[in-house]
């Protein structure tokens, strides 16, 4: 299985291409839907990498796929502007998920 990137900027796209990951740069909701449909229909794609900006701007589209499909896995990645997550995100996530304080 391979990875596929859906990004909102060329810097992230270029970096991932250097690592051997195919993908696209998009800037609209409609184009996002089209590229997700492409990625969902391609059985060789096991992971869709998507910049956090799209998850914040279009949570209805992304969450629908996450909740209703087993594959491909959608992984949100920070873009060149950094992560939109607060400091200590992983620690608080683990604490909420399993009740373990790290």
Q: Name the residue ranges covered by the structural domains of the chain.
A: 2-98
- Which helix (H) or strand (E) covers residue 25, if one does? strand 22-25
Q: Average pLDDT over the chain, rounded to whole?
A: 83
The model's confidence at residue 56, banded by pLDDT at 50, 70 and 90, is: confident
Instruction: Answer yes or no: is pLDDT of 53 > 70.
Output: yes
Q: Which residue has the higher pLDDT, 15 or 88?
A: 15
Residue 49: how many CA atoms within 13 Å on its side-chain side?
A: 21
Q: Is the overall model pTM greater than 0.85, yes or no?
A: no
C-beta separation of 97 from 88 below 8 A: no
**In the prediction, which pLDDT does 6 show?**
94
Instruction: Answer yes or no: is pLDDT of 84 > 70.
Output: no
Instruction: Please compute Rg for the chain using Cα positions.
Output: 14
CATH topology of domain 2-98: Rossmann fold (3.40.50)
């Amino acid at each position: 299985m391979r990875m596929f990137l859906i990004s909102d900027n060329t810097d992230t796209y270029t970096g991932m291409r250097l690592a051997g990951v195919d993908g696209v740069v998009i800037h609209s909701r409609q184009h996002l839907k089209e590229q997700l449909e492409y990625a969902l229909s391609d059985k060789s794609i096991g992971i869709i990498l998507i910049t956090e900006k799209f998850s914040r701007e279009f949570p209805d589209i992304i969450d629908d796929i996450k909740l209703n499909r087993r594959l491909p896995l959608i992984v949100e990645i920070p873009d060149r502007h950094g992560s939109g997550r607060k400091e200590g995100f992983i620690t608080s996530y683990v604490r909420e998920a399993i009740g373990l304080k790290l």
